[in-house]
Amino acid sequence: MDAGSHEGHFSEKFVAVGVGSFDSSVSRSMKVEASFGRGFSGIQMIGNIGSIVEDGRERARMALERLGYQMPARKMLLSFTPGDRKVDGNHFDLGLAVALACLTAQQVPKVDLSRWVFAAEIGIGGQLRAIKGAIGLAVDCMAEGMDGIVVANDNAEELQALQTACVDLGRPLRFLNFQTLEQVLDWVWGKAGAVGGLSFLKSPQNIANEADKSPSPNFDDMILDEELKQVALVAATGMHSLMLRGVPGCGKSMFAKRLVSLLPKLSAEEHLTLLQNCSSHREAMSPQVLQGCPPFRNPHHFASAPAILGAGALPGEAALAYGGILFMDEFPEFRRDVIEGLREPLETGEIVVSRAQMKRVWKADLMLVAAANNCPCGWRGSKRRRCECHETRVVAYRNRLSGPILDRIDLHVNMPERSESSNPLFAASRTEGVSKTLTMKAMVSEARAFGLERNKSFGIKLNKQIQTQGLAEILGWTASALDTCISSIIPSHVSSRSVVRCLRIARTLADLKSNPIVAVDDIRKAWSWQAHQSAVLRGEIFN
């Protein structure tokens, strides 16, 4: 603690306590300094302070008085440093309370409070409450070499998941969790047995069991033809974005919701990023997220741009789907700015939110799965029902999706219509005695492992990240031979972006067969799944 503590001489007392800031444009390390001064009695705070911090001062004062700490009839000054940083949020409550307690108590803290970050809201009865963004603060603690972070018990479960990820990454993380302010102060004064701990927390195995018990749709109860099975394997192996087209009831949503069951668990680095994104949101983390399972997000088509793409302080659905699937059903019904805003995450895996006085980058490397009908009524091209849409309505419906956004989606699949009165989509689970999902998931893992060493030499992990430079080499072709092959399969008027995406899909098809060289049939098959060729097969355009 930066303190010149002289018992009985309040005028010489100075306290510095570590707190945290959510200002993403700069380092988050902050401190609250406390001292007595001359002037009218009371607690004065200086800095760029918001209303929530003003309220937090009163919550801290009331909680301390209930514990028997008497505020002296002196002027007490609380200063946030750096002074030019915006200070707002309920996470400052605990730091304020600890600073006031150390300033007024006739005791010397047993720990260096400037080396710890205190982050919790305080009830007027002294209870500690959870905050959002605790994981982001903890990560900053590690990055800046702080000793650790002190939080409420309700934040401990997510920090335990973070601690597990940090162990895998070889990064130390220390945190203490308490139920009340009194327990925190007992630890500050070094009282015997006053240590925050993890004894009440669920073990990683219990969290895993909760994740396993949660309903998770998989392909065991869905009949897949060879085409759809191949689409599922390709999408999951390369994390390729996917557009599903078809009449109502053909299984678009059913297929999309089961696709996440094929994705391997997140790496420690990916899990850390997902935890940071989810910690900044207001909703509680699911057991799947805590365990490192890929997320599945399914926003409604009425959702606003900030809800999908994020804002300065809160992540959107795209960031919450990091490492997993963002399913956007009725894709053309989403707002135009939402749809076009997905260009950036599909290309770079990030969303940059710029405001007048701040800039926030949300990591959003995900698999977009979009679903759409062929017309507003949905029955265009159906063999069972007649479409009643006027041609102008159909054209307007198609034009809601621009060429650039369609070009950025890797796979375009026309879902087959059911031809029988009974529903052939559903199957008895594990009819052959073996889980179809587990078999497919093993194929995905093997294909990823096959391509991993090759991709590492090009500085990438997944096939969807393949760039134009070195593309022929990654495919196992010479540049001249590849140009000749492309000219024979792909029309010359197609955009270069579609060509590159076609070749990425072809590389994934070859990886699923453990072939180091991409075959011509792989390129031809991949081309059939591109936006242009998919529209040709639907009869919307001519080749």
pLDDT tens, 323-376?
A: 999 999 999 999 999 999 999 999 999 999 887 667 889 999 999 999 999 999
Token pair 């099975």: residue: 229
pLDDT score for 195: 59
Q: Do domains 10-201 and 213-223+239-430 have the same CATH topology?
A: no
Integer Cα distance of 341 and 360 in angstroms:
15
Q: Are 534 and 413 in contact (CB under 8 A)?
A: yes
Task: Just give the CATH number of 213-223+239-430.
Answer: 3.40.50.300
Predicted confidence band at 424 (pLDDT cuts at 50, 70, 90)? low
pLDDT score for 11: 47
- DSSP class of 108: -
pLDDT tens, 484-506?
A: 999 999 998 889 999 999 999 99
pLDDT score for 7: 40
3-state secondary structure 424-469: CCECCCCCCCCCHHHHHHHHHHHHHHHHHHHHHCCCCCCHHHCCCC
pLDDT tens, 223-282?
A: 888 999 999 999 999 999 999 999 998 899 999 999 999 999 999 899 989 998 998 887
Integer Cα distance of 437 and 229 in angstroms:
10
Q: 374 to each of 137, 170, 171, 283, 389, how far by Cα in Å?
A: 47, 50, 50, 35, 11
Query: Which residue in 166, 173, 117 sits closest to 142, CA to CA?
Result: 173
Residue 360 backbone phi and psi in degrees, to 5 = -130, 135
Mean pLDDT, the chain, rounded, equals 86
pLDDT tens, 302-318?
A: 999 999 999 887 899 99
Q: Which CATH number fits domain 10-201: 3.40.50.300, 3.40.50.150, 3.40.250.10, 3.30.230.10?
A: 3.30.230.10
Over 60: is that where the pLDDT of 127 sits? yes
Integer Cα distance of 156 and 160 in angstroms:
6
pLDDT score for 40: 83
Q: Which range (29-38, 288-297, 450-459) has the least confidence?
A: 29-38
Which residues, in sequence order, are CB contacts of 41 under 8 Å at separation 6+? 72, 73, 74, 75
Query: Which residue in 267, 259, 217 sits closest to 235, CA to CA?
Result: 259
**Residue that wins the pLDDT comparison between 515 and 470:** 515
332 preceded by a cis bond (ω within 30 of 0): no
pLDDT score for 10: 44
Q: The whole model's pTM is what?
A: 0.84
Predicted confidence band at 34 (pLDDT cuts at 50, 70, 90)? confident
* Residue-range domain boundaries for the chain: 10-201, 213-223+239-430, 440-538
Integer Cα distance of 387 and 375 in angstroms:
8
pLDDT tens, 46-101?
A: 888 888 888 989 999 999 999 999 888 888 888 888 877 778 888 999 999 999 99
Over 60: is that where the pLDDT of 425 sits? no
pLDDT score for 420: 58
pLDDT score for 83: 77
Predicted confidence band at 519 (pLDDT cuts at 50, 70, 90)? very high
- DSSP class of 219: G
Token pair 């505020």: residue: 71
Share of the chain above pLDDT 90, in %: 51
Q: Which range (144-153, 275-284, 506-515) has the least confidence?
A: 275-284
Average pLDDT over residues 466-493: 91
pLDDT score for 359: 82
pLDDT score for 9: 43
